[in-house]
Structure 1
């Protein structure tokens, strides 16, 4: 634990101007990023009496080992640089909003030749139009099912689309009129793209245009006595109106706005966002976060705006953003939002009318989300802090293990041996720092040797990257960098290494660290059978109470490592291509096996192909083609018969069918018995 006075800048060193600052720990990792209108005044707040600080701020300044800053010209530049650094470094002590659940979006892949409508989760992709988020995936499918009647855009996967193109037959949706069937050429790529564009326009709230157009077409069809066509258009209009009725009108027509509400206590905050497009609620989402320091509601709103619009441009940023409190100062944030949209954005607090009433609804949702979040055991800050303290006391550590790495070995009867490394920081998962290992040094089932190997490889990398600081460091900050400029994750050591296993695995991990000369990292193991905690050089395990939060955290860490290892091991098994007789062709790898099967469609068709036809497959030379043909021909021959009495192999020969009559008691598949009768 560092003393903040040991790295406090000297008086007069810090400029009195706008800028962005970074706190780093002893391993040069950025742990906090902030911005300030006056760097001198802001940083002075971190070097006061520790007793008067917010608990999380106190932990941050005592974890840090240095502070640095970058001066910028305006507060808007400071806002942009702060957002960029938070995205790049992912500092552990910054306000990071976490989705309280994974929300599905309705996505239209406008970056493809034939755009597809589908349900998507996770990170947004470039060139894809997103609508939502929705509370449930079934709500998206319900809406899409209604709209496909009017906008029959493709919804099938790439595999189904490709198969339909090859066979010339569309899928079921193509037959019932809910897909324009671009796979079989019923519609040109240009027309299908335009259809998808109209679908997106309707979803953005431009509904009146299409309803009026369909009503006009229905009237014209009725006048021309085309009653069947008029009836279809009438049903289309009803389908669109039904889809629109799923989202009630909450604001005046054509209002585009996002409403953000915050519910908070001393330690945590919950944010709820309602997306209103065309006067209707088109999506809802929620975030929760730990409050790192004494932070105002306006500052929480500012961080929420950064996360919400940091990657968005154009119409994705609405004309109006309604918030419970304005950031201080508000002008840089408003100017930043205007730059993201490319047009004016109104950032304000609703005072009365429909917008104020809707804001109260959003605030109630935020309050409920915070209450629900507080009941979740694993996400409670106080619970996590208690768990880390219990682990430190049980293992006799100098301080709470803020970073824990856990390792597990997985294999299938000694084959495809792999290992996983998962990372928990402050009691929460850090999936961006997970790693997977392939064990290659030996064959067979030996978890102890595998554990020794993976610990050695991981910390050898750590030592190598630490020694290469001068070669790999960023010239300005001295931080370890990869070739692509990203921080080197293996350069960050944990305070505690947990292995999935008992005394043998723990001893192997400790021996690997000792061989590398690392003596400042604690090691323990968690055995599955009795949930005992094993320490190196101890004959008896440490038994934590079943109700211990520390034991619960260790179990979560161990189970996550086991899940990650099993997933990787199953993925490797699934990727191993099984091509039957092709597996016996010497020198034929997985890629060329797949190319052969893809070209011919099956091993049966490949067996019937000539050598010249096999040579047409990319990557297959004539010599290889001849080997493939010979191997397949050899595999097609029936196995030689064996005399059960003598054990001798009887060569296959053509049967003498003239000696047999339909009534002869000849056993099929046993030529040696038939020959005995013939003799």
Structure 2
């Protein structure tokens, strides 16, 4: 545990201008990134009485061993640089609103001749109209299922659409009336686009006009004694009303807004967001996050906006309006940054009365309920994790709790497709972004495979540490890491790539440059002995090692004749089991992927345009690759969806030489 006074910058060296700062641990890894309007005032607040700081801030400043900063010209520049550094370094102590999910949209591909309705995730592209985001893909499909009766637009992929046109038969949706079947010419391109335009109008909120038009057509059909058509229109109107019930109007002015509310306590905060598009709630999402500092509601709004609307890891659909419970201190800079992301003006405001205020209160109640549920579900969870780490340290004779644990497992079947996994747990929780998979070649058994993996991992760690040391000792390297200026916005300070564990080419932490406090291997005494021999050969003596045997869940230590037996109800044993089971899951998943790829690879994979469906159809028709290779072009063409040119390509790929010789 470091004393913050040992790395406090000298008085007068911190500028009073806007900027962004980073705290680093002893390996040079960035553990916290923040921005400030006045760097001197903000940084000095970390170096007062440690016991007066927020609990998580205490942990951060005592984990850190250095601090550096970069000054910028304006708050907007500081906001941009803060976002880019958080994205680059993924600091451990920053508030994280990410839930590792991309939220789906209902997309209409208006840039195609026959537009398609589909579920779409990821980055948006030009020429596609989006509705959403939705919380779940099934919510989009449920809405589509109701609306396709009224708006029978195309939903199939390009391959299915083209194949249906080739064989002259529509898919099942075309037969049951949920697609107008443009693939076989049932409607023209103009008629199909009119259907799609009506669908977009309905999704955009012009529902009353659509319902009134259908009611008028139903009345006219009834008066003309076209009762079947009138009944069909009646059912269409009922389907529209059911879809409208699922998308209740909450703002009558057709507002596009995200309504954000928080509920917090000294250590955690729950956030809830309602996505309102065209006055209707399209989706809802929420998180519970740990508070690193004593954050106000305005601070939480700032962190939410910079992460959720920050790029590929966040929500790229920036609304015209953000309704929040409190404005952050940098609201003007934040609004300018969001406006740049959106491409048009974005406003942040606190609603005072009316429907928007009522909706914000509803979202706030949801946030409070989410925080209460989280507390009930995880009451004592932090205490439990701390207890588990303390029990492990005591059982293994470690001087400190193992805040970072790495576990290794090997997966193989009789020496084939030998692979291994490395999983990482920090503070008792999995850190999946640092998992690694190894392909092992030349190993004869599990012990040799485990030895190879550990030697590769820790050799890279030693190389990275030696490289960092030589860089620091080099006379060309700046020794003052408290950088006060940088040239252009986003330019790294001169000492950035000269820090331990940082790759000078990419500016990112080096792979395998961060050592664990504890290494766990899946196995008993033989596996532990093999791992200990590797660490000893590499001269590594400051990393603890143990093995967890599945038979009786015994914990084995190097050179011990008997295992350590943890109580069955021990939180430490439970955590070790979780780590071991996660490593096993990760290894066996990778092994299955490689085995499946090897077993399913065939000459058919190289045939251009031959997809999985038609490959399966060929194998189902002929029974094996050998029979396909023995067939003629005419026999292969008999398989539905296979043309003569494709048949010739199949025979060529299977080594039949000139396919024309097969036609007799």
Using structure 1 for the length normalisation, give the TM-score: 0.80
Q: Distance in 2 between matches of 1:356 and 1:25?
A: 44
Aligned length: 619
Task: Name the structure 1 match of 2:252.
Answer: 252
SS in 1 for 2:496: coil
Task: Name the structure 1 match of 2:450.
Answer: 451
Contact 1:309 1:317 in 2 (8 A): yes
Contact 1:320 1:345 in 2 (8 A): yes
Map 1:229-248 onto structure 2 (within 5 A). 232-248=232-248
Pair 1:144 & 2:144 matched: yes
Task: Name the structure 1 match of 2:33.
Answer: 33
SS in 2 for 1:366: helix
Q: Aligned-pair distance for 1:307?
A: 2.4
Q: Distance in 1 between matches of 2:435 and 2:471?
A: 25
Of 520, 523, 528, 1:498 maps to: 520
Query: What is the root-mean-square deviation of aligned Cα atoms in Å?
Result: 4.0
Contact 1:615 1:621 in 2 (8 A): no
Structure 2: 5+ residue runs without aligned partners?
478-491, 620-624, 634-643
SS in 2 for 1:316: coil
Q: Distance in 2 between matches of 1:23 and 1:522?
A: 27
Task: Name the structure 2 match of 1:324.
Answer: 325
Contact 1:577 1:594 in 2 (8 A): no
Q: Deviations over 1:351-391 (max 9, x none)?
A: 33332222222122111211222234499333333332332
Q: Aligned-pair distance for 1:607?
A: 1.0
Contact 2:3 2:62 in 1 (8 A): yes
Q: Distance in 1 between matches of 2:118 and 2:576?
A: 39
Contact 1:270 1:366 in 2 (8 A): yes
Map 1:17-56 onto structure 2 (within 5 A). 17-56=17-56
Q: Distance in 2 between matches of 1:367 and 1:178?
A: 42
SS in 2 for 1:33: strand
Contact 1:106 1:117 in 2 (8 A): no
Q: Distance in 2 between matches of 1:279 and 1:242?
A: 17
Q: Distance in 1 between matches of 2:520 and 2:647?
A: 53
Q: Aligned-pair distance for 1:330?
A: 2.3
Residues 1:202 and 1:518: Cα distance change in structure 2 (over 3 Å): farther
Q: Distance in 2 between matches of 1:288 and 1:199?
A: 37
Q: Deviations over 1:619-675 (max 9, x none)?
A: 9699x5469999x9xxxxxxxxxxxxxxxxxxxxxxxxxxxxxxxxxxxxxxxxxxx
SS in 2 for 1:490: coil
Pair 1:520 & 2:519 matched: no
Task: Name the structure 2 match of 1:663.
Answer: none
Q: Distance in 1 between matches of 2:108 and 2:578?
A: 37
Q: Deviations over 1:109-142 (max 9, x none)?
A: 7498566545567x65656765445455543332
282-291 vs 318-327, which deviates more?
A: 318-327
Map 1:617-632 onto structure 2 (within 5 A). 617=649, 625=656
Residues 1:484 and 1:278: Cα distance change in structure 2 (over 3 Å): same
Map 1:154-173 onto structure 2 (within 5 A). 154-156=154-156, 164=164, 167-173=167-173
Q: Deviations over 1:165-199 (max 9, x none)?
A: 55443321121221244555656778767865764
Pair 1:299 & 2:277 matched: no
Task: Name the structure 2 match of 1:335.
Answer: 336
Task: Name the structure 1 match of 2:374.
Answer: 373
SS in 1 for 2:547: strand
Task: Name the structure 2 match of 1:643.
Answer: none
Residues 1:166 and 1:415: Cα distance change in structure 2 (over 3 Å): farther
Q: Distance in 2 between matches of 1:162 and 1:464?
A: 54
Q: Aligned-pair distance for 1:337?
A: 2.6
Q: Distance in 1 between matches of 2:190 and 2:577?
A: 55
Q: Deviations over 1:441-494 (max 9, x none)?
A: 134xx2211111111111222233344447999864025338666443322222
Q: Aligned-pair distance for 1:554?
A: 1.8
Q: Distance in 2 between matches of 1:614 and 1:119?
A: 31
Task: Name the structure 1 match of 2:430.
Answer: 429
Contact 1:462 1:493 in 2 (8 A): yes
SS in 1 for 2:179: coil
Q: Aligned-pair distance for 1:50?
A: 1.9
Q: Aligned-pair distance for 1:163?
A: 5.4
Using structure 2 for the length normalisation, give the TM-score: 0.82
Q: Distance in 2 between matches of 1:589 and 1:181?
A: 31
Of 625, 631, 635, 1:608 maps to: 631
Q: Deviations over 1:538-560 (max 9, x none)?
A: 22222223333322222222111
Contact 1:378 1:384 in 2 (8 A): no
Map 1:511-590 onto structure 2 (within 5 A). 511-578=533-600
Task: Name the structure 2 match of 1:657.
Answer: none
Contact 2:98 2:307 in 1 (8 A): no
Residues 1:28 and 1:324: Cα distance change in structure 2 (over 3 Å): same
Task: Name the structure 2 match of 1:477.
Answer: 496
Residues 1:596 and 1:206: Cα distance change in structure 2 (over 3 Å): closer
SS in 2 for 1:375: helix
SS in 1 for 2:512: helix
Q: Distance in 1 between matches of 2:632 and 2:283?
A: 56
Contact 1:267 1:381 in 2 (8 A): no
Residues 1:98 and 1:294: Cα distance change in structure 2 (over 3 Å): same
Contact 1:206 1:278 in 2 (8 A): no
Residues 1:481 and 1:593: Cα distance change in structure 2 (over 3 Å): same
SS in 2 for 1:491: coil
Task: Name the structure 1 match of 2:69.
Answer: 69
Residues 1:242 and 1:596: Cα distance change in structure 2 (over 3 Å): closer
Q: Distance in 2 between matches of 1:379 and 1:309?
A: 33
Q: Distance in 1 between matches of 2:453 and 2:88?
A: 28
Residues 1:45 and 1:376: Cα distance change in structure 2 (over 3 Å): same
Contact 2:24 2:32 in 1 (8 A): yes
Map 1:90-109 onto structure 2 (within 5 A). 90-99=90-99, 105-108=104-107
Map 1:269-418 onto structure 2 (within 5 A). 269-311=269-311, 316-377=317-378, 380-418=381-419
Task: Name the structure 2 match of 1:642.
Answer: none
Structure 1: 5+ residue runs without aligned partners?
583-587, 633-679
Larger Rg: 1
Residues 1:258 and 1:593: Cα distance change in structure 2 (over 3 Å): closer
Contact 2:419 2:437 in 1 (8 A): yes
Q: Aligned-pair distance for 1:215?
A: 5.9
Contact 1:258 1:273 in 2 (8 A): yes
Contact 1:103 1:285 in 2 (8 A): no
Q: Distance in 2 between matches of 1:112 and 1:428?
A: 45
Q: Distance in 1 between matches of 2:523 and 2:350?
A: 56
Q: Distance in 2 between matches of 1:517 and 1:188?
A: 75
Q: Distance in 2 between matches of 1:186 and 1:570?
A: 45
Contact 1:270 1:288 in 2 (8 A): yes
SS in 2 for 1:420: strand
